[in-house]
Structure 1
Amino acid sequence: MSEQEFTLADLTRILREGAGADESVDLDGDILDREFEELGYESLALLETGGRIEREYGISLDDSLLSEARTPRMLVDLVNAHLLAPRGV
């Protein structure tokens, strides 16, 4: 098991690096349960975000699962589930 944890702060950093941020949205606010579309991120931006997460954290995220993560909370939980999964099984 990995000792690494993926946090909302990690996600917002990666979102800003990869796709930027809509000036009308405060990513430092309470965004855990807001949908990505509402935050200004469409599917292409989320695929880029997923790719960045995969490279940085050394995991593989299934595109269909990634597309089902409609909120930051769902994506953080998805990444953490992969980080905690036993490797090589």
Structure 2
Amino acid sequence: MAEQVFTLDDLRRILIEAAGDDESYNLDGDILDTEFEELGYESLALLETGGRIEREYGISLDEEVLSIANTPRLLIDTVNAGLAALV
């Protein structure tokens, strides 16, 4: 079975699903190291994002992880570590 990988495009899609496609969110360009707060995402939107990731990818993310992984790069790395542990 091939290892599943969570990408920036996956995260963008889930963020839009969780918070809507509001023009106040700017997910274009190089956002990997931009904090979610600067991108316009508050903690409630990130909790919803975490829940969607858990359901779709079959991993568990606790609230502490979501507060520590405060950039797309950190969240992607966290999700991929969880996916790797499933293999």
Contact residue 22 and residue 40 of structure 1 kept, 8 A:
no
TM-score scaled by length of structure 2: 0.90
The residue that corresponds to 1:58 in the other structure is: 58
| Structure 1 stretches of at least 4 aligned residues deviating more than 3 Å after TM superposition | none
Can you give the 5+ residue segments of structure 2 that lack an aligned partner in the other structure? none
Aligned residues: 87
Deviations along 1:23-78, one digit per CA (max 9) or x if unpaired, are 24431211000000000000110000000000000111121111111100000000
* Structure 1 counterpart of 2:8, one-letter code: L
* Corresponding letter in the other structure for 1:67: S
Pairing of 1:40-55 with structure 2 (within 5 A) = 40-55=40-55
- TM-score normalised over the length of structure 1: 0.88
Quote the residue 1:15 is aligned against.
15
CA RMSD of aligned residues (A): 1.7
Name the CA shift for 1:75/1:2 in 2 (closer, same or farther; >3 Å): farther
Percent pairwise identity: 75
For the Cα contact (< 8 Å) 1:5–1:80, is it kept in 2? yes
5+ residue gaps in structure 1?
none
